[in-house]
Structure 1
Amino acid sequence: MGLSFTGPATRVVPVEEVTQVGQVRREALGLTTLAGFDALDAGRVGLAATEIATNVLRHGGGGRVLLSLIRGSAGLGVEICGVDRGPGFSLAQCLPDGYSTAGSQGQGLGAIQRQSTVFEAWSDAVGAVVLSRIYAAESQDRDLGYGALRAPMRHESVCGDGWSLRWDDDRLVAAILDGLGHGPQASEAADLGLSVIAEFPGLAADDYLARMHARMSRTRGGAAAVFCLEAGSGQGTFAGAGNIAATLLSGAVTRQLPSHPGIVGSNYRRAQPFRFDVRPGSLLLMHSDGLQTRWDLKRYEGLQHRHPALIVAVLHRDFDRGRDDTGIVAVRLEAPHG
């Protein structure tokens, strides 16, 4: 396939009063410029962003909207994710136009779904999550089965955590890096380390870490992990250093992928990577220590088999520490489609 993408920072917009709905729309439209959308596709994003933010405020009692630039098979897209703390809803009831619990026209979820290339929703006792991914209508873009978040610590404009994905024919590489501390210097360390994923195709997981170490030698360093999958053989390889959590979920089986002690770019000793078989359809989930490790997808009936971006949003809602940068990447490990 020959694609590589390092995610920019996620834009987290609080929605507690009506003027913030307009802010969500403006920031979403800003992402359409980065994605190269024309006026028609930008209008789809603007409509979906407005409806999602309005639902968060009107039906969910407030919350936030997460905005991300995403990568599809042919180009860039925009992801809009509304997270609220309301009473939840039945998707089957709320999708048809005309249904409303707040005296509105009841066209919100249906309108969002019509504008979306990918539409997902989750509702439970904690609240609701509504996810929309939009690609250019004429691009014939295919969604890639990943979800990711790169959220800066409160009051910071940049994020010291980062992630990168690379697809090459039947090979997938997923990497996550947590620059020490937070702020511009941590962000610089993360971006420098992750740049090797785009520049060097075909390396083994431990070789990527070694390249990161060399490139980050003049930065403050960080924790990092790299996962490689050879889809043809079903062989997975993992190498990590520092406080990165990595989990492979396959049906009822959960496998933790351990990292070695050390700081990439500073105190790092090369170690042998872990090799293992990967079943098609498994879910890889890696995150920094900005997310608590006590999550368990078995507590969310059916969530493990939903879109990875929805999984990321729910875990961030329930387990974000709130006092550090947060980086999460989740990938559905399917054979590539060419």
Structure 2
Amino acid sequence: MDLNFAGQVTRVVVVEETSQVGQARREALALAEQAGFNETDAGRVALVATELATNVIKHGRGGRMLLSLVCGRSGLGIELCAIDAGPGFSLAECLPDGYSTGGTQGIGLGAIARQATLLDTWSDARGAVIVARVHPGRATAALDLPYGALRIAMRHEVACGDGWHLRAHGPSVAVTLIDGLGHGLQAADAAQAGVAAVAQASGFDAPGLVGALHAGMSGTRGGAAAVASIDTQAGSIQFAGIGNISATLCEPTASRGMASHPGIVGVQFRKAQPFHFHAPAGTLLVMHSDGLQARWSLRDYPGLFHRHPSVIVAVLQRDFDRGRDDVGIVALRLGDLH
């Protein structure tokens, strides 16, 4: 399988009153048009967006919808993520039609499950996270790729200075995360230049890809960047980072940090000396910019490690977003991409 996918900015819709349900639906339909969905599949996206946003208001005491383009094994899909502050729920109980926690007809989650290629959830004392991915043509969950990513601009900014990229060819996979210096349009220009550079680069050598980033971001204000190059057959990772990109390998009972070197990609750094790690299938790779606090641990969320990476990313953003910078997060379940 070949992939060369650059993450777009996540669309964020506040959902606190009924009029904002329509806004969530319109944003979702705009993404469906961008992905080339036909009328039938776009209608499925609209239904999922409407049901999720309605649930956020009726059962979740208000919240947000995060909408993104995602890549699958055979094309683009739409990811819709609802985050609320409600009392939580059991997915197994809520899927059958007729069950409701809010006095409604109780068909919302069942309707979503029937339209979505993938549906996964998390519920705790802070609220619920529901992720639905819709791919065209009634695709099965086997089409889904086990990654999650968010690219969210700082509040009141029109551009996001964080960027990410995913490449795959045969057993080789490369995940790149960039944090343009500062925030705003110039930071976004730096990140976009870096993403374009790795999209055009050849090979999967992590230091070589950092070198491509450096060349591509030259002339911009530069930024922090890191590349994790994965050999899925050998279960090995080569990691090279410059600046304050955080990277962690998570397992059910332990985690390992992956260190970066000082410098500014596109401006000056000494050398992208790589570090090598062994990571068996099932390990979760998490990379994020400093817009997210680094003090999180999945061990504080029993069971979360086993959820879909997109759910994990949403929970981390919910609980650890600093709120004063752009935030970029990518999580990839190793060994399942092919």
Aligned to 1:30: 30
Say which is worse superposed, 193-202 or 42-51, in terms of deviation: 193-202
Aligned to 1:212: 213
What letter is aligned with 2:242? A
Cα 1:228/1:159, change in 2 over 3 Å: same
Question: What pairs up with 1:40-51 in 2 under 5 angstroms?
Answer: 40-51=40-51
After superposition, the C-alpha distances for 1:277-315 in whole angstroms (9 at most, x for unaligned) are 121111000000010111110111111111100000011
Aligned to 2:261: 260
Offset of residue 138 of structure 1: 5.6
The question of 1:198 aligning with 2:199 is answered yes
Distance 1:105 1:335 in 2: 38
After superposition, the C-alpha distances for 1:74-117 in whole angstroms (9 at most, x for unaligned) are 11000000000011112222111111122211101111111110
TM-score by length of 1: 0.97
8 Å contact from structure 2 (residues 146, 336) kept in 1: no
Offset of residue 335 of structure 1: 5.0
Aligned to 2:187: 186
Distance 2:43 2:209 in 1: 40
Q: Secondary structure at the match of 2:143?
A: coil
Offset of residue 194 of structure 1: 1.5
Offset of residue 142 of structure 1: 0.9
Distance 1:336 1:309 in 2: 14
Question: What pairs up with 1:83-98 in 2 under 5 angstroms?
Answer: 83-98=83-98
After superposition, the C-alpha distances for 1:222-248 in whole angstroms (9 at most, x for unaligned) are 000000011122221000011110000
Say which is worse superposed, 124-133 or 134-143, in terms of deviation: 134-143
Distance 1:225 1:173 in 2: 10
Aligned to 1:54: 54
Say which is worse superposed, 40-49 or 99-108, in terms of deviation: 99-108
Distance 2:112 2:138 in 1: 19
Aligned to 1:248: 249
Q: Secondary structure at the match of 1:71?
A: strand
8 Å contact from structure 1 (residues 170, 335) kept in 2: no
List alignment gaps of at least 5 residues for structure 1: none
What letter is aligned with 1:283? L
After superposition, the C-alpha distances for 1:200-238 in whole angstroms (9 at most, x for unaligned) are 231310111111111111000000000001112222100
Say which is worse superposed, 248-257 or 303-312, in terms of deviation: 248-257
Offset of residue 47 of structure 1: 0.3
Aligned to 1:320: 321
Cα 1:241/1:3, change in 2 over 3 Å: same
8 Å contact from structure 2 (residues 7, 163) kept in 1: yes
TM-score by length of 2: 0.97
The question of 1:273 aligning with 2:277 is answered no
Identity %: 58
8 Å contact from structure 2 (residues 116, 134) kept in 1: yes
Distance 1:85 1:276 in 2: 38
Distance 2:294 2:247 in 1: 10
Say which is worse superposed, 51-60 or 268-277, in terms of deviation: 268-277
Q: Secondary structure at the match of 2:224?
A: strand
Name the Cα RMSD after superposition: 1.2
Aligned to 1:283: 284
8 Å contact from structure 1 (residues 83, 127) kept in 2: yes
The question of 1:146 aligning with 2:127 is answered no
Cα 1:101/1:36, change in 2 over 3 Å: same
Distance 1:214 1:59 in 2: 50
8 Å contact from structure 1 (residues 228, 238) kept in 2: yes
Distance 1:231 1:101 in 2: 43
8 Å contact from structure 1 (residues 232, 335) kept in 2: no
Aligned to 1:100: 100
Offset of residue 195 of structure 1: 1.6
Q: Secondary structure at the match of 1:8?
A: coil
After superposition, the C-alpha distances for 1:39-60 in whole angstroms (9 at most, x for unaligned) are 1100110000000000111111
8 Å contact from structure 1 (residues 250, 279) kept in 2: no
Distance 1:197 1:71 in 2: 17
Question: What pairs up with 1:165-176 in 2 under 5 angstroms?
Answer: 165-176=166-177
After superposition, the C-alpha distances for 1:173-218 in whole angstroms (9 at most, x for unaligned) are 0000000111111111001112222212313101111111111110
Aligned to 1:74: 74
Offset of residue 251 of structure 1: 3.1
8 Å contact from structure 1 (residues 88, 123) kept in 2: yes
Cα 1:335/1:107, change in 2 over 3 Å: closer
Distance 1:127 1:217 in 2: 43
Say which is worse superposed, 44-53 or 130-139, in terms of deviation: 130-139
